[in-house]
Structure 1
């Protein structure tokens, strides 16, 4: 109900505004006008959920491309490391590994900044700012005069490059309802795993034909073009931000400061900002669901990157691949991931749609049915076992490649199942939930490979990969357990702000 001293909304404004529904006449709420979507809500063209499928998929394609591009940069540089060591007169094996993995360490710190910012100020400003900085730091890396500067620029590049990996899920939540979200999540989930696989293939031939600096020039060119395209293709999708801007526009047009978004929590800007910054860490520490899933994904990511450290040595040393062709050894994992993408993408929404068809309320646990929670986690140790003993006994190279394909197949199914589960369980703060997951998996992917070669030196490829397979097997029941007990854990959890 509006205060008698305040002007009432015009007929045009009434489609966007509802007077305070509680009728509370106390303090500021007595004169507030709630700003929400125009009635009928399912026809308001400013509501991202009502946009056409063509527009939604164009947005998802743009986000998915940069989600592929930035992880690509993590490994595309790897084949050029020997040249870097010569140019900068260094012989440290640890430094040679660190100049590659420091990018992944940037992935561990970036989510703590970009995810809360996207929930505080909107997705678009974070995307566009980080896209430009990604371009800047790649140019700086191409011009790096010494190893120290290259390491610093790579680290900063990782911090801003993690943006689409962190908040892409939030964009998908903004535009797709639960029952059609699975395929979009499948496309987006491919980038963080497939990018590091394609990187060495392209980088190997590029370094062979030019120099390591051209890796960064190519990334700069592609990053610059994609940043411009992204700016014009992707609009703001974050509902609280859109409604807050709508309320601000109405306040300006009418001169009435009573207009407020229905989603405005009334917190001062400083308090809301601090709350947003702390949210990913609080979610990781306070939520059993997020902590368990994040630790599992981090372990799998660490295993995958340890596995990657052996590819060049194995396929060049044992199978006689050239330095350029050795990058092709990553394609086995890539083929497996593509197959996993098709499998998981086609089945992810199946249980959700079945629930809705039966007039039942979908649950986040519907993202982890047996045909997702069993084949994915079990394929990973099987693939590691095949790769490990295939290379240990030096059988034909196709055998370890089949093992890599099986591992990649399991990785994408498991990653997608867990990420869609977290998104559905924490929809309002999906970006922060994925940020918490990205932090741990990036730390594992950046640090564990530093000790990977020592593991294989002591145990050999056969027993070394068998150990990793047993670790993956021991953690495989986690998605299955959440299928049965996830709802109980969610019911006991305190609301996360």
Structure 2
């Protein structure tokens, strides 16, 4: 899941919460005095070529293409290490006898992503897409070096916390470039779907890609050596093709340049109207948590999406136990099996094309805000995919797990789950963004979902070993299927009562009122 950093783009000039803070009162008085003698800088008309909305399509896709390449490759660092668990355990004296201690480097990686999304992602609004990306990418590269050269297990855990955090920043920062480049919902749908499929596939592809390292080289350190080579080679490419897409940052730099060269008091409206940076960081860091505990729709959506996303990481553990136990496969071979999940995700992306069609068509029957699509229309196909893909695939994966049944049968179950995961994660991101789109809180809501996904991805697989050992292959997967079945009821309820939920939420209600009036 990705966090579209939408707060700053959709907030009105004055934040009611911020104005209640005494420090912001001081800032407002200073800004008011400056504003009296200042010139407010805006775009040079609706066709200003510097405005990212007006860029040629070729330039937009140049940036997005580089972003997609990054989103596909940097998550490899997260799950690639799972194909070498036995070798790392042997070298560092780690035991999985009573607990899957070998998974701690992945848990650390995922939790780092959750922390960085909440705390550091808001900084990208101030520093901009390009600088934020390049700084995060270089630090990410530096954190892989000690992973390749680690002399103890603690080094892996600590450094992977930071590399996981950087990956979350890279993926989510670049994901936010999409709404910076396309203003219309219909125009954003295709690049957003590409973005989500590359993010999911990036995590799922790592075991199949790096299984060959353990099969043919046998040295787990080469997993990170290869990553250093690949990521290092991509750095010049990203330096050339990742451009600044945040319109507010481009305007601010233009205003700063005018003041520097002419001495005129030229500012953007944002510069004169913003509270201090530390206060904005405080609000942006605490707001996702506040929304999560006060908004039932957001909480249920987060649990539904987080479980789906966490299943990708769960399979890095359960697939090894199932296919090693049933068919006696080598550890590296387990990585190849997870290609089935990738195939399912690709099929889910194809099905998402139909989901976008249903969403767009719903505008014709929207009585709440005529002419605009119904937010719950985002969930039609994903609700089916949750039941038929994730739940159904889990049951297939569970009850074909017998030595007498060919390995392809449980692999089909994995593909079905991958199909459901793609549609669920995509639908939740789009639905939450739509439901909160015209309020002040869309970015915070999506950040809450993204952080929840990272937390579950880090913690859920820790239970896999004991579940599959104590309950057996069939009943452990059945338990997961039943949990998925329970969570799959959420979209059904939203489709049925979505309008009622939105009317009860002060945040979503405000946004829907603005949509209805066309403001």
What TM-score bracket applies, with the shorter chain setting the length? Answer: 0.7 to 0.9
Q: Larger deviation: 77-86 or 161-170?
A: 161-170
Q: What is the match of residue 106 of structure 1?
A: 112
One of 169, 178, 185 as aligned partner of 2:175: 169
Listed one character per residue, the Cα deviations across residues 355-414 of structure 1 (whole Å, up to 9, x for unaligned) are 389994424605515234333444210000001100146411111111111111011011
Give the RMSD, CA atoms, in angstroms. 2.7
Asked if structure 2 preserves the Cα contact closer than 8 Å seen for 1:368 and 1:479, the reply is no
Q: Which residue of 1 aligns with 2:69?
A: 65
Secondary structure, aligned partner of 2:401: helix
The 1:489/1:32 distance shift into structure 2, 3 A limit, reads farther
Q: Is the partner of 1:439 in helix, strand or coil?
A: helix
Partner of residue 131, structure 2: 125
Does the Cα contact within 8 Å between 1:198 and 1:330 map onto a contact in 2? yes
Instruction: Give how far 1:65 is off.
Output: 2.1
Q: Secondary structure at the match of 1:448?
A: helix
- Conserved 8 A contact 2:140-2:166: yes
Partner residue, 1:45: 49
| Structure-to-structure mapping, 1:282-321, within 5 angstroms | 282-321=290-329
Which string of whole-angstrom CA distances, capped at 9 and with x for unpartnered residues, describes residues 65-103 of structure 1? 222223221111111221122222333453212133321
Q: What are the within-5 Å matches in structure 2 for residues 223-302 of structure 1? A: 223-261=231-269, 265-302=273-310
1:11 paired residue number: none
Distance 2:283 2:415 in 1: 42
Deviation per CA, 1:162-212, whole angstroms, max 9, x where unpaired? 113333332111112211211111111123322232111122111222211
Give me the whole-angstrom Cα distance separating, in 2, the residues matched to 1:181 and 1:356: 20
- The answer to whether the aligner puts 1:187 opposite 2:194 as a matched pair is yes
Deviation at 1:29, TM superposition (A): 4.1
Return closer, same or farther for 1:372/1:323 CA change in 2, 3 Å cut-off: closer
Alpha-carbon distance between aligned partners in 2 of 1:357 and 1:227, rounded to the nearest angstrom: 48
Structure 2 residue aligned with 1:22:
none
Task: Note the C-alpha offset of 1:250.
Answer: 2.8
SS in 1 for 2:50: coil
Matches within 5 A, 1:90-489: 90-93=94-97, 94-176=100-182, 177-210=184-217, 211-261=219-269, 265-345=273-353, 347-348=355-356, 351-352=359-360, 355=363, 360-363=370-373, 365=375, 368-392=378-402, 394-427=404-437, 430-489=442-501
Cα distance in 2, alignment partners of residues 153 and 139 from structure 1: 9
- Alpha-carbon distance in 1 for matches of 2:170, 2:374: 23
Residues 361, 436 of structure 1: alpha-carbon distance in 2 compared, 3 angstrom cutoff: same
- TM-score, normalised relative to structure 1: 0.86
Rate the CA distance shift 1:268–1:442 in 2: closer, same or farther, 3 A.
Answer: closer
Distance 1:468-1:90 versus aligned 2 partners, 3 A rule: closer
State the distance in 2 between where 1:47 and 1:123 align. Answer: 14
CA distance change for structure 1 residues 246 and 411 in 2, over 3 Å: closer, same or farther?
A: same
Query: SS where residue 205 of structure 1 aligns?
Result: helix
Instruction: Tell whether the 8 Å contact from 1:130 to 1:160 is kept in structure 2 after alignment.
Output: yes
3-state DSSP class of the match of 1:77? helix
Q: CA deviation at 1:418?
A: 0.8
CA change 1:492–1:246 in 2 (3 A) is farther
In structure 2, stretches of 5+ residues that fail to align are 1-31, 509-519
- Alpha-carbon distance between aligned partners in 2 of 1:369 and 1:301, rounded to the nearest angstrom: 16
Whether the aligned pair in 1 keeps the contact of 2:211 and 2:335 (CA below 8 Å) is yes
- In structure 2, the CA distance between the partners of 1:354 and 1:96, relative to structure 1 (3 Å rule), is closer
Match of 1:76 in 2: 80
Partner of 2:481, secondary structure, is helix
Relative distance call for 1:425 and 1:431 in structure 2 (3 A) is same
Following superposition, the deviation at residue 299 of structure 1 comes to: 2.2
Residue 8 of structure 1 aligns with which residue? none
- Verify the 8 A CA contact 2:252 2:267 in the aligned structure 1: no
What is the distance in 2 between the residues matched to 1:221 and 1:70?
12
Shift of 1:336: 0.6
Moved more, 323-332 or 367-376: 367-376
CA distance in 1, matches of 2:295, 2:128: 24
Instruction: Name the SS of the counterpart of 1:90 in structure 2.
Output: coil
In 2, the alpha carbon distance for the partners of 1:364 and 1:247 equals: 39
Aligned to 2:40, what secondary structure does the other structure show?
strand
Once structures 1 and 2 are overlaid, which stretch shifts more, 275-284 or 189-198? 275-284
1:146 Cα deviation (Å)? 1.2
Equivalenced residue count is 470
**Residues 283-333 of structure 1, C-alpha deviations (whole Å, 9 max, x = no match):** 333444332211221222334433331212322332243433321110111
TM-score of the two chains, using structure 2 as the length reference? 0.83
